A and B are shown apart, each in its own frame.
Chain A
Amino acid sequence: MFRHLISSVRSIGHRTIDGIWRLGYASRFFVLVLLKSGTSLRRFNLVIRELYFTGVLSLIIIVVSGLFVGMVLGLQGFETLQKYGSESAVGTLVALSLVRELGPVVAALLFASRAGSAITAEIGLMKATEQLAAMGMMAVDPIARVVAPRFWSGVISMPLLAAIFSVMGVYGGYLVTVVFIGVDEGSYWSQMQSAVDFRFDILNGFIKSCFFGVAVTAIAVFEGYDATPTAEGVSGATTRTVVTSSLVILGLDFILTAFMFRGVS
């Protein structure tokens, strides 16, 4: 009984220390990636190759989900606004919720599960099959050659994907409310345009998605690099990437929103 109690207390302490250890290691790794990203900027075709895997292949899921999210927003917004006779404001509702929140956040969540998990699995498997160690043998730095291009491709493609998501959502809302239901087209766009501000809404949404891009890819490359080099370890690392980056996205979104939209109408 007593021994059982001690061992459980010990395991809490062990996990805490281990977590702090990993956090420090992750921070050092992040700085190392930034320092060694000179190579990937000089040999930009490495980044372009990764942009294909992270950006282009995520395009389908982003476009389709953006369209459907916008359609649902339009439908639900119309149902509610109709009660107050202000269904022409549905464009404002769709655009503001997409540009400020849903665009960056949902695109980042999809990006984490589509591209982040792939990055982790790829790097983890490279480690498990000792390709990273082989690179080190040949005096090729695996962080500069493997990790940094993947990191930068994620940072570049995330804001673009979020913008595509928002635009698809706005047109999805347009499709449902204007084409199917019959809200006036002019008021859909004009109410939207008068309510959405370039600096406060669009630029802040863009900055948000840049932050999410850095966070998701940093987590993905770290989990892959830090994975236990076994089949089980790689699968665990992939799961951790999706879970951790989803939580970080949502937490970061709250902090950024609190900074950006405090005191603005």
Chain B
Amino acid sequence: MQRTTMDLWVGLFVGVGIIALMILSLKVGNLNAYNPSQSYVITGNFENIGGLKVRAPVKSAGVVVGRVTDIQFSTQTYDALVTMSVDSRFTFPKDTFASILTSGLLGEQYVGLAAGGDEAVLKDGDKIMKTNSAMVLEELIGRFLFDKASESD
């Protein structure tokens, strides 16, 4: 089998194609930034999750530390059970406060973790006890109107 100039062009084409795939996954998709293989799972019960979705980021101090992996409705407590996988490089105290926040005015919702002061840290499968629900605009307006009405009495 002889080498021809055609082989050179085909090699160039395949090479450029593979480089394009790598650019897509590394530069556009940012595959290397967050590796979920080494992570631990924590859960939290929220009264209302608002518009939180699976795959939403889990942030602490604005830095992404994990992802929401599962959201389920619990019939025992009648609230939402949110499962999060957190990068095992980051540990959080047992009394960490989890709240559902919104990035920007119209942005996506995420879980914000605010570290407490406990010595013991959250381990795989632990449950966050202190949670804060998502802000629901209707409830907020309703409460505001109710307050106004009771003021004027």
Contacts and interface: CB of A to CB of B under 8 A. Distances in A.
Given A160-B18, A202-B25, A193 B30 contact: yes
Interface string B24-43: 11011111010000000000
Given A164-B17, A202-B24, A193 B29 contact: yes
B17 A56 contact: no
Interface size class of B (residues with CB under 8 A): 20 to 34
Interface in A187-218: 189, 192-194, 196-198, 200-202, 206
A256 interface: no
29 contacts: A48-B7, A49-B6, A52-B6, A52-B9, A52-B10, A55-B17, A56-B9, A56-B13, A159-B17, A160-B13, A160-B17, A160-B20, A160-B21, A163-B20, A163-B24, A166-B28, A167-B24, A192-B28, A193-B27, A193-B30, A194-B30, A196-B28, A197-B29, A198-B29, A198-B31, A200-B55, A201-B29, A264-B55, A265-B53
A37 B24 CA distance: 31
Q: Which 10 A-B pairs have the closest CB atoms?
A: A160-B17, A193-B30, A163-B20, A167-B20, A198-B29, A164-B20, A163-B21, A56-B13, A56-B9, A198-B31
B28 A202 contact: yes
B14 interface: yes
A250 to B, nearest CB: 23
Q: Is the interface of A mostly helix, strand, loop or mixed?
A: helix
Contacts of A161: 17
B6 A196 contact: no
A51 interface: yes
Interface of A: 45, 48-49, 51-52, 55-56, 59, 84, 86, 95, 99, 156-157, 159-161, 163-164, 166-167, 170, 189, 192-194, 196-198, 200-202, 206, 264-265
B10 A48 contact: yes
Given A197-B55, A265-B53, A160 B14 contact: yes
Contacts of A156: 14
A236 B53 CA distance: 51
A163 B33 CA distance: 21
A197 B25 CA distance: 9
